[in-house]
Chains A and B, each alone.
Chain A
Amino acid sequence: MIDTLRLTAEELEGLLTRGEVSSQEVFEAYRAAIDERDGELHCFLRLHDGEGEGIPIALKDVIGTNGVETTAGSQILAGYVPVYDSTVAARCKARGLRLLGKTNTDEFAMGSSTENSAFGPSRNPWDPSRVPGGSGGGSAAAVAAGMTPWALGSDTGGSIKQPSALCGNVGLRPTYGTVSRYGIVAFASSLDQVGPVAKTVRDNAFLYSVIAGRDPADSTTVDLPPTEIPEAEDLKGLRIGVPVEMRDAPGIEPGVADAVARAVALCEELGAEVEECSLPRSVEYGLPCYYLIAPAEASSNLARYDGVRYGYRAAGDDLTEVYERTRDEGFGDEPKRRIMLGTYALSAGYYEAFYGKAQQVRTMIIREHAEVFERCDLIVSATSPTVAFEIGARADDPLAMYASDLLTIPSCMAGLPGLSIPCGLSEGLPVGLQLIGPQLSENTLFRAGHALERALEFDFVPERLQ
């Protein structure tokens, strides 16, 4: 019997290597879990019977897959079947990772709850009346519910870290430039990164090693040090900073603050030097900066959806009418809002006051983080100010939804890697701890995350599924 809720990818690999189970039995066990639970949780937009003799995997539906429909959660891409693999999909395939299916996402990865998916929201396995986070809620919830051992997501301002926190997973947003975006549906290109979601830090590190590395097809990729699968069980020699503005940010739930404070105390017990640090302007201006730059880039990236070469096309008497109707009927509210916002911020008369200013704020955020990392090896905070919220609670208030990413956004603006690990429960729901390091410090994040994970002994199987 293959316990998909509990088995890690590493344990599965062991079972396969020792010949105790076949890869077909493993694949079927996950398909059975999907049959049992996905009717309720709606993590998958479509299933696929992929090739490969290795461990199964699920991919967020912004990740292009040759011959497998890829919609980015949008009606405008319904029916779009890529004729080539994204680099990350190809690398997974080359390692024998067998595709189980494509997971749900907020439309074009714009959102923090998956409620913006054109195909309906996913639900949180810990409490199906609540959101799994977003935009990669489908990937995170599928991992938590034992419907895949691991998955890939994409992160622009928190779309891997925040759902991982809300579902009790380990999620990595890698350093900007370490993972190829070739074949990924673009949202905001100076921010988008693909990264792994897994049950453990070691699994996460392994999957990162599969997808990371320079790619001639994406000129923003860089060379990086070899990934080390973490083993250390202490934090000796590490200097950990606690940004006070993140710790004391308005809107942090008391249960979240408590769980994070306990994890910080644990860092000291494990041998780290912990000290307070400060990121005042990054925390105060990160969100406004992001909501100018990301929509501006999105308004440019989403210009390609015009009904001419692929995707949905509305009828019209002339070409302009086809463009305008296709885009009005094909896009949902959130992409429209961001396209409008971005177009406004880039338009004549407003460019300097909005977009230009935001680009300067971004420099300030980068500098502020660099200063902190002169004294610290990494910084820690809550990943999300709250635990998973009720479906519908923020759906009609874009600004309340945007605030979900208050703590994840600043480091994204600076291109820094961030790891979210579960650090406890509040009201029976997972709380995420965010670890941020300088660029290319993934090995340090894995090492610290692994030591904390061992000491925290968080049970990643949702109680109601045990």
Chain B
Amino acid sequence: MEISRDEVLHVAKLARLALTDEEVERFRGQLSAILEAVGKVSELDLEGVPPTAHPLDLVNVLAEDEPAPCLPRDEALVNAPDPEDGYFGVPPV
């Protein structure tokens, strides 16, 4: 399954990855080969087989609705690249 340069750029944009030209070309080849291999799943007739999202029989696990302490603001900001006045600083949107 061959994917185009435009498709790679489209997916990179969705994934917020600013790929270099060299990366676009390399990933185009590799992703084509991988998609060819994984596309094998489409040869199966799976009519009526339900999908599995995770392998446990758990449904709607609920916690007690009780307030508990959360991470203090100063600790939440410890790893921030650009903390500003108690907030996460970013350049203009």
Contact = CB atoms under 8 A, between A and B. Distances in A.
Given A337-B31, A399-B33, A285 B16 contact: no
Given A313-B82, A324-B16, A344-B11, A361 B41 contact: yes
A345 B14 CA distance: 12
B46 A310 contact: no
Contact of A289 (B17, B23, B33, B41): B41
Given A176-B56, A291-B34, A341-B31, A310 B79 contact: yes
Contact of A316 (B17, B53, B91): B91
B16 A306 contact: yes
Contacts of A81: 78-79
A399 B92 CA distance: 41
A219 B63 contact: yes
A366 B55 contact: yes
A343 interface: yes
A359 B49 CA distance: 9
Main DSSP-derived SS at the A contact region = helix
Contact of A83 (B14, B18, B19, B78): B78
Interface residues of A, number: 72
A320 B16 contact: yes
A313 B81 contact: yes
A292 B91 contact: no
A255 interface: no
B31 A363 contact: no
Contacts of B55: 176, 190, 362, 366, 413-415, 439
10 nearest CB pairs, A to B: A415-B55, A359-B51, A310-B79, A324-B18, A313-B81, A190-B54, A219-B61, A362-B52, A360-B46, A288-B38
Interface of A: 79-81, 83-84, 176-177, 189-190, 216, 219-220, 222, 281, 284-285, 287-289, 291-292, 299, 303, 306-313, 316-325, 327-328, 331, 336-337, 339-341, 343-345, 347, 353-354, 356-364, 366, 398-399, 402, 413-415, 439
19 contacts: A81-B78, A216-B63, A284-B40, A285-B41, A285-B44, A287-B37, A288-B41, A318-B92, A319-B91, A322-B90, A322-B91, A336-B17, A337-B27, A340-B31, A357-B44, A364-B49, A402-B34, A413-B55, A415-B56
